[in-house]
Amino acid sequence: MRQWARQLGFSQIGVAGIDLSDAEPGLLAWLAQGFHGEMHYMERHGLKRARPAELVPGTLSIVTARMDYLPPGTPPGWQALELARLQQPGQAVVSLYARGRDYHKVLRQRLQKLAERIAQAVGPLGHRVFTDSAPVLEAELARRSGLGWRGKHTLLLSRQAGSMFFLGEIFLDLALPPTPATSAHCGACRACMDICPTQAIVAPGQVDARRCISYLTIEHPGPIPEPLRPAMGNRLYGCDDCQLACPWNKFAQPSVLADFAARPALQQGDLLHLLGWSEAEFLQHTEGSPIRRIGYARWQRNLAVVSGNALRAAQLPQALARLLCQHLQRMAQDPAGDALVREHAAWALAQARPTAATRPDTTPDKQG
């Protein structure tokens, strides 16, 4: 089975049992504290997340799989390069995992093919495949099946691959022997906790999603709380900070699949260019991308916050500041636009230094 999985682009597979009863108290406590924010589906599903046989009746074992997602061609020292991008106000940074094709589609198709290969070997087989697409405790199942351990940021960590990978599962009505879990190797390190811009990792293994930039830019449908907007910096979609700081990610591996090659516009992340996308262009450029699901209004909301934070930066060139203000003024004054976008655009304009929108560009003409 491992050979079949590697042929399909998976880096590692394991097998987990279906008894997650000891994970239920932690899940209930997390929900009770409201850490799930407006992800109401987590509350609706309740303990079904920890009871695989209730989610898919007849399930006897679960095959877990990980797939590396760093874009092919990612250079050595990529963590430092990505951290440096966060200090450039003219850029809008998209999380590494979202720069290529939608991982849901890639993993689901390949998990289905793996399930079919298993069925060919053992005979008729009841199964369902999942990848971040159902109430499944993916990281916990992966931990129990030996794919890694849970870091203090709650993500799965592997000694061979850091945390830059996706997870998927095949629920089977076939009893397979579980693979042994591995030990944890974070020790006293708290790099992920210390770097979090909003201090969303409130304790080791506890994340308050309501403060997490990934949640705020992707899952959260309404206004981004004003106190948290400056902390977003130039993070447009998602946030990789806790992974960029993790020492284990020096072992992260580029994907072997062309699907995760970065799209140029999302890799370059030119803020002014992305601000200029119409809704039709947004849909065109995000076809087959996980970004499309947030919709154009939420995309513009995020762009407005990134623009406002850029306007607060002392190193932003005046010419760029004026162009950003022009875009934001159109967004804020568009009577046909989304009210959410107008409010965030107005906030962004209020962040501009007093001369940003009116001061003439006095930079000498370097062309002579």
Q: Is position 81 annotated in a ligand binding site? A: no
Q: Is position 133 annotated in a ligand binding site? A: no
Q: Is 366 helix (H, G, I), strand (E, B) or coil?
A: coil
Q: Which of 102, 132, 270, 365 is catalytic?
A: 132
* CA atoms of 247 and 266, how far apart (whole Å): 25
**Backbone phi, psi, residue 60, to 5°:** -115, -25
Residue in 207, 189, 190 with CA at minimum distance from that of residue 198? 207
And the tokens for 160?
A: 């061979």
* CA atoms of 342 and 333, how far apart (whole Å): 7
Active-site annotation holds for 334: no
* CA atoms of 238 and 97, how far apart (whole Å): 9
For the packed helices 295-311 and 318-333, what is the interaxial angle rounded to 10 degrees? 140
Q: Is position 325 annotated in a ligand binding site? A: no
And the tokens for 334?
A: 């568009």
Q: Is 189 helix (H, G, I), strand (E, B) or coil?
A: coil
**Backbone phi, psi, residue 159, to 5°:** -65, -25
Number of H helices, E strands in the chain: 17, 10
* CA atoms of 153 and 193, how far apart (whole Å): 7
The answer to whether residues 326 and 305 touch, using CB atoms and an 8 Å cutoff, is: no
* CA atoms of 201 and 207, how far apart (whole Å): 4
Residues acting as catalytic residues: 132
Binding residues for cob(II)alamin are 49, 132, 156, 167, 214, 239-240
Binding residues for [4Fe-4S] cluster are 186, 189, 192, 196, 212, 239, 242, 246
Binding residues are 49, 132, 156, 167, 186, 189, 192, 196, 212, 214, 239-240, 242, 246
